[in-house]
Each structure stands twice: as C-alpha cells, then as structure tokens.
Amino acid sequence: MEYTNDKKFAQTQDLNDPLQKYRKEFIFPSYTEQPVIYFTGNSLGLQPKSIKKAINNELEDWGKWGVEGHFYAKKPWVNYHEILTEKAATVVGAKPKEVVITHSLTTNLHLLMVSFYQPKGKRVKILCEKKAFPSDQYALQSQAKLHGFKPEEVIVEVGPRENEHIIREEDIISKINELGDELAVVMIGGVNYYTGQVFDMKSITKAGHKVGAKVGFDLAHAAGNVKLELNKWNVDFAAWCSYKYLNSSPGGVSGLYINEQHVEDKDLLRLAGWWGHNKEERFLMADTFEPIPTAEAWQLSNAPVLGMAAHNASLEIFDEVGMDAIFEKRDKLTGYLEFIINDISNRYDNVNFEIITPKDKTKRGAQLSILAHGKGKELFDFITK
C-alpha cells in the first residue's frame, strides 16, 4: 500500500474502513484536555460500551435470585463459562473441548506447568526466551523450585545475539536440538512483550516435540492480536489474558488451552478443584475427583461471573467482526504508523527513531516498539500528556 504522511490521506482511509463504525462501540479516556488517541491496548484494552449492560444484567439477576441465580439467572451461572468457550476457541484456533475461560493468567500458567513440567531423569530443563515478561520468569523459577531444582540450573534462556534486538528463530530451534533429551518443556511468549516479535509457534512446537519435550505458550500479547492455530500446530498447552487486545476489563479472566490429546488423560497430573469435577455428578459431593474430559477439568472454583460477563460482551464484538478482518485492519494501521515514524525520523536531523519490531508482517502484530535515541523519557512524558 502506498502511504502518504498527511491528514487527508489518513481521513480517507478512515472513511473507507469497513470497520470504522466499531470505533463508536468503545469508550475512550476523558481525563485529558485533547481527545485521546489510544496506543496502549497491549496493556489494557478500551472498554466496550456493551460491557456495562452485560454486568448490570448479572447484578440484577444476583439481586433477584440470590444463590438461585446459579440455576435461574437469564444465563445460569452454574455453566456460565460455557457461553464463552466457542468464541474464545475461535480466537486461538482451537477446538471447544480444548479451551476454558477461568482464573487469571499466571494462575493458569502455574496450573499448566504442574501438568506439563514433570521432570524425570535427565529431562529437567525448561526453555524460555530471554527478557520474557517478569511474571513468566517468576512462574518458571518457582516451578523449578517446586521440584527441588535451582532455577539457574534448569531454566535455559535464548536471547538476541550481540547488538541485536530480535531473537533469531534458528537460535531457538538450535537450542532445542542442543538440549535434546534434557529438555522437558518449552514455554515461550507467543509475542514478546518488549519487542513485539511474533515467534514461529508452529516450528518451535515441531522442534520441541521432535526431541520429546512438551511445548506451551503465554499468549497474553498474542490472543486477539495475531493469527493463532493452536490445534493445527499441535501445541500442548497455552494461556492468555483477556484484558489486553481482548478488551475485557482490568485483571479480567484468563483463557486456558490444552491439546485434545491430553484433555481425556485422567492420569495426567493436575491440581484438582470442585469445578473441574464431572459436571453430571458435581452436586453429589463425591470425595474422589473425576475430571471432566475437556479443558474444563483444569477449573478450580465456580465461575467469576461478573468478569466473564465483561469478557463475553467483548468476545461478541470479535465474533461479529471476524478475526481475518481484524488482522487486515491491524496490518494497515501498523504499516501506516511504521511509515509515519520512519518518515519523521528521516526528515529531521535531530530525530532518531529506531523501530526494533520486525518489519516482516508475519513476525509482528499490532505492536511497534521504538527506541527514541536521546530523548526517550522526555518524549514518553510528552506523548502521555
């Protein structure tokens, strides 16, 4: 696409945008003097206007029914999570039985690591990317300690080469092959939060399986942002949050994926809770856990309905628009922003913006990470204001 750095071009693109009407479906912050242009959806997505009604519906049913709302609310709470499953599965390219919405992101990562990090013999190593989001690092470190290891002895990080920002795919594959039968789990962010690099999850999964390791991804910065085909790629496990690109409330509920080959394995170790027990017999209060033969078995407690109501309202928009249309709009917006940044940087001698996110559209999503050499903090404060 031929871009032009002028307002008329941008306004023409807006007028011809088939998704432009959806801008009116979201609430923009109002605390600034000027209207907000929102660039922080990678941290917290804007609030869909439909969320208020969705939550109020549940508040009304709570007031009307009390505890009986679990069975008599307009959307009964006892199986509330089920109304999210199919829409969420579409976002991540999974089968409904492989997905459940429950808990929070790092909680789900811990639950998944309990099941898929089971070190035995020499197969004890965990592979992750260097400069992963801190919560991922903390989770992996504590999982290593849980099994009696020193984190530095079993966690292996792959980072960028010297004077580079992006981790080369061949270095990840090479490290997987080097670790070989010592590698227990690969756990990498699908999109690196710092650089915006999208990892080749299909190739990483294939390489990990080739050496006998389990492979999972933290999709916090990927879900709703990049095309995911978890089932097709044969990924073992994944988790994601709902509050970034999925616009579903601060600290909102999390998604959890477990490949279909694992969900019916009753012998697979998991931390059990009442809501993961056989749904038909849950209220018989049996004293022995019988897991549901889907990802639902990883649920612990009953649904946090208010958070799920917010998530469902947002997912309804994604479902209506369609992921392919979102990705097409993403590429146009990100490509234009890239053009503008480079144009300004090239035009002025005192401006030096370096985009460290890959130029290849298959290796990035909606995020561009910029090193503003010399005036980074000053520029950040100016733009924020």
Whether residue 144 is contained in a domain is answered as yes
Residues 366, 222, single domain; the answer is no
pLDDT digits (tens, 9 = 90+) for 314-346: 999 999 999 999 999 999 999 999 999 999 999
Residue 300 has pLDDT above 90, yes or no: yes
Q: Which residues of 7-27 are buried (b: 16+ CB within 10 A; e: fewer)?
A: eeeeeebeeeeeeeebeebbe
% helix, strand, coil for the chain, step of 5: 50, 15, 40
pLDDT digits (tens, 9 = 90+) for 166-178: 999 999 999 999 9
Average pLDDT over residues 98-103: 97
CA distance 191 to 195: 8
Residues 168, 32, single domain; the answer is no
DSSP for residue 168: P
What range defines the domain where residue 105 resides? Answer: 67-320
Whether residue 281 is contained in a domain is answered as yes
- Alpha-helix runs per DSSP H in the chain: 7-15, 50-65, 69-72, 82-92, 105-116, 134-146, 151-154, 169-179, 201-210, 230-233, 260-263, 305-321, 323-347, 376-384
Residues 247, 289, single domain; the answer is yes
**CATH code where residue 276 lies:** 3.40.640.10
Q: What is the phi/psi pair of residue 150, to 5°?
A: -85, 125
Residues 201, 346, single domain; the answer is no
Residues 264, 121, single domain; the answer is yes
Residue 362 has pLDDT above 80, yes or no: yes
Residues 223, 80, single domain; the answer is yes
Residues 136, 261, single domain; the answer is yes
pLDDT given at position 383: 84
Residues in CB range of 328: below 8 A, 6 or more apart: none
How many domains does the chain contain in total? 2
* 1 vs 180: which has the higher pLDDT: 180
Average pLDDT over residues 377-381: 87
Whether residue 58 is contained in a domain is answered as no
- Match 């170790």 to its residue by tokens: 269
Sign of the CA dihedral running 108, 114, 118, 123: positive
SS3 40: coil
Instruction: Count Cβ atoms below 10 Å from residue 327 Cβ, excluding itself.
Output: 16
- The per-residue pLDDT of the chain, averaged, comes to 96
Q: What is the phi/psi pair of residue 18, to 5°?
A: -65, -15
Whether residue 314 is contained in a domain is answered as yes
pLDDT given at position 324: 96
**CATH code where residue 28 lies:** 3.90.1150.10
pLDDT digits (tens, 9 = 90+) for 21-66: 999 999 999 988 888 899 999 999 999 999 999 999 999 999 999 9
Residues 168, 197, single domain; the answer is yes
pLDDT given at position 184: 98
User: Residue 373: pLDDT band by 50, 70, 90 thresholds?
Assistant: confident
Domain stops at, among 269, 292, 320:
320
Whether residue 130 is contained in a domain is answered as yes
User: Residue 225: pLDDT band by 50, 70, 90 thresholds?
Assistant: very high
pLDDT given at position 4: 96
SS3 304: coil
Which residues share a beta bridge with 198?
191
Domain stops at, among 320, 350, 368:
320
Domain stops at, among 297, 320, 343:
320
pLDDT digits (tens, 9 = 90+) for 177-223: 999 999 999 999 999 999 999 999 999 999 999 999 999 999 999 99
Residues 371, 315, single domain; the answer is no
Whether residue 344 is contained in a domain is answered as yes
Whether residue 56 is contained in a domain is answered as no
CA proximity to 56, closest of 83, 74, 79: 74
31-32-35 Cα angle (round to 5): 110
Residue 375 has pLDDT above 80, yes or no: no
* CB 276 within 8 Å of CB 149: no
Instruction: Count Cβ atoms below 10 Å from residue 249 Cβ, excluding itself.
Output: 23
User: Of 95-104, 327-336, 343-352, where does mean pLDDT reach its minimum?
Assistant: 343-352
pTM score over 0.75: yes
pLDDT given at position 364: 97
Strands 237-241 and 254-258, by their bridges, are antiparallel
Residues 178, 265, single domain; the answer is yes
Whether residue 55 is contained in a domain is answered as no
Residues 79, 220, single domain; the answer is yes
Residues 345, 366, single domain; the answer is yes
pLDDT given at position 33: 85
Average pLDDT over residues 115-129: 97
